[in-house]
Amino acid sequence: METVAEFSLELLRAGDRVEFARLVESFSVSIYRLALQMLGNQQDAEDVLQITFVKAFQHLGEFEGRSSLSTWLYRVATNEALMLMRRKDASVSLDEEKSDDEGDSFQPHELADWTKLPEGDLLDVEARTQLEKAIRSLPVRLRAVFLMRDIEGLSIRDTGEALGLTETAVKTRLLRARLQLREKLSAYFGERLRQENKK
Amino acid sequence: MIHEHGLECRDLLGNLSEFIDGGLDDETCEKLRSHMSGCENCRLVFDTTTRTIYLYQTVANETALPEDVRGRLFNTLKLDDLIKPTRRAHES
Ligand SMILES: [Zn+2]
């Protein structure tokens, strides 16, 4: 989902307003979506969106390349989101937890084959609520990686740069995030499948 | 469970993300495919994980920036004069 628009770094560095407006147009949806999924609150997401671009405008002169520019935006947005989260819960952190090292903690358990459910069922109002619930229940260190990599389409490398993680850490967390979400959705859709079959 | 080629379920699990993202060499992919054709559980984990990602991407694709949020953003940045009329209403 990475935007493909090209920007003139020269114009941006020179503080060109038109070029900056194009940048805002291009990335505002992604940044807002990321913040909204991190925080689960529209007002907080809007605050993060505004702060991110205000800071971007102040630091335009420092951008060195297109990749560093988008990574920079995601990094600022994530840091702002984390700060907002910490105001409500001081323990919020991107740091590794002990439990992450317990090797088999992400062994799949739910083995219902719900993939054949019609797409209408997989994306109805109730299912969407469950999708939302599942992602909100992920620890933030996993959620952030999943959102950047799978939703915003950043590479493993850029995700690592934006979050200050090594590529290995990104890969480990991505797998855990995907498997945990799979587990939660499987529990929910598996139950629906059983209800379906009873009919 | 140990299958032919010495490939086990946990090898598949360990490589699952890269397999999904297409970051593995042909030989490893072939081994994983062959494992899955004989291991129902791994096939299922693969299918449901891919589907999980797909569902989140589908929902995310529908997320637009609310007009009022967009308006306030451009206003904060003093770019009101450069705000373009909504394109997304027709595009999506
Ligand atoms: Zn297996």
One domain, residues A103 and A174: yes
Judgement on whether residues A120 and A189 belong to the same structural domain of the protein: yes
Contact call for residues A69 and A10 (beta carbons, < 8 A): no
Question: Is the CB of B72 less than 8 angstroms away from the CB of A131?
Answer: no
Same structural domain for residues A79 and A151? no
Query: What is the pTM (predicted TM-score) of this model?
Result: 0.89
Within this chain, do residues A84 and A124 fall inside the same structural domain, yes or no? no
- Domain contains A93: no
User: In whole angstroms, how large is the CA radius of gyration of chain B?
Assistant: 22
Residues A102 and A183 in one domain: yes
d(CA B52, ligand 1 centre) in Å? 19
What pLDDT, on a 0 to 100 scale, did the predictor assign at position B87? Answer: 54
Please check whether residues A187 and A110 belong to one and the same domain. Answer: yes
Whether A115 and B51 have beta carbons less than 8 Å apart is answered as yes
Q: How many CB pairs under 8 A join A and B?
A: 105
| Domain final position from A88, A118, A142 | A88
Task: State the CATH number of the domain containing residue A70.
Answer: 1.10.1740.10
Report chain B's mean pLDDT, rounded to a whole number: 87
Could you tell me the residue range of the domain that residue A115 belongs to? 98-198
Domain extent listing, chain B: 9-85
Residue A49's identity, in one-letter code, is: L
Mean pLDDT by 10 residues, chain A (199 residues): 63 90 95 95 96 93 76 94 89 69 66 93 96 95 96 95 94 96 97 87
Report the Cα A93 to chain-centroid distance in Å: 15
Task: Tell me the C-alpha distance between B72 and B56, whole Å.
Answer: 28
Q: How far apart are CA A148 and CA A137, in angstroms?
A: 17
Instruction: Note whether A9 and A63 are same-domain residues.
Output: yes
ipTM of the shown complex: 0.90
Asked whether residue A183 is assigned to any structural domain, the reply reads: yes
Number of domains in chain A: 2
Distance B12 CA to ligand 1 centre (A): 7
